[in-house]
A and B are shown apart, each in its own frame.
Chain A
Amino acid sequence: SQQGEEDPQALSIQEGENATMNCSYKTSINNLQWYRQNSGRGLVHLILIRSNEREKHSGRLRVTLDTSKKSSSLLITASRAADTASYFCATRAIGNTDKLIFGTGTRLQVFP
């Protein structure tokens, strides 16, 4: 079963607007990662935030993590049509496992 739930399930915005996606998860984690998946293609890693971090930036991406609420958000600023994709959060649980547990994803559509 999937660890996380993301909302919204789908999001449509205009180019230049910001997009915010939220992820909730269930168990204690080592880190949380965000991935992007374009139609018909594999997953591409975007950003990783460790459990002892609260916020991280990478280019137009800003990720926050609240371990007390078991939630994370991904903000994409000044969106572009090329940002159109599905976005997934994935958690790596504490322990001796390396597997990632993915959320259900948010489908982002950016209109030019």
Chain B
Amino acid sequence: GAGVSQSPRYKVAKRGQDVALRCDPISGHVSLFWYQQALGQGPEFLTYFQNEAQLDKSGLPSDRFFAERPEGSVSTLKIQRTQQEDSAVYLCASSPRPRGEETQYFGPGTRLLVL
């Protein structure tokens, strides 16, 4: 079946511009995660949804970052007033059930470059 998809794959934004990144998880997966991966680093957790509920947003770096999953499927990560330090790959992952040992299935990521 289809894996996790993300769009756009690449985004170039001017500093100060707002951007919206989309994630389509695997159908039926309850859990959805967003991670940020800086160049040469491992992914860092941003936020977690269980269905439509955002249960953990402890990794969001500032109040310019906002995520939603209104119907418990597709999720959008929005970054307002982008800064150069926001340049990174944004990875979305989903897993079938919460609080289990299931692995997370990752999308290809959105590479964001803020000029």
Contacts and interface: CB of A to CB of B under 8 A. Distances in A.
Asked if A and B bind, the verdict is: yes
A50 B101 contact: yes
A66 B104 CA distance: 23
A5 to B, nearest CB: 10
A70 interface: no
Contacts of A1: 44
B103 A45 contact: yes
Given A99-B59, A100-B45, A101-B45, A43 B101 contact: no
Contacts, number: 60
B59 A48 contact: no
A92 to B, nearest CB: 8
Interface string B92-109: 010100110101111111
A41 B108 CA distance: 5
Greatest chain B CB density within 10 A among A48, A98, A101, A103 is at A98
Chain A contact residues, majority secondary structure: strand
B33 A99 contact: yes
Contact of A100 (B41, B99, B104): B104
Interface of A: 1-2, 4, 30-31, 33, 35, 41-45, 48, 50, 88, 90, 92, 96-105
Interface of B: 4, 31, 33, 35, 41-45, 48, 56, 59, 91, 93, 95, 98-99, 101, 103-109
27 contacts: A2-B41, A2-B44, A30-B101, A35-B106, A42-B4, A42-B91, A42-B107, A42-B108, A42-B109, A43-B91, A43-B106, A45-B103, A48-B101, A50-B101, A88-B42, A88-B43, A92-B101, A97-B48, A97-B56, A98-B33, A99-B45, A101-B45, A102-B35, A104-B41, A104-B42, A105-B41, A105-B42
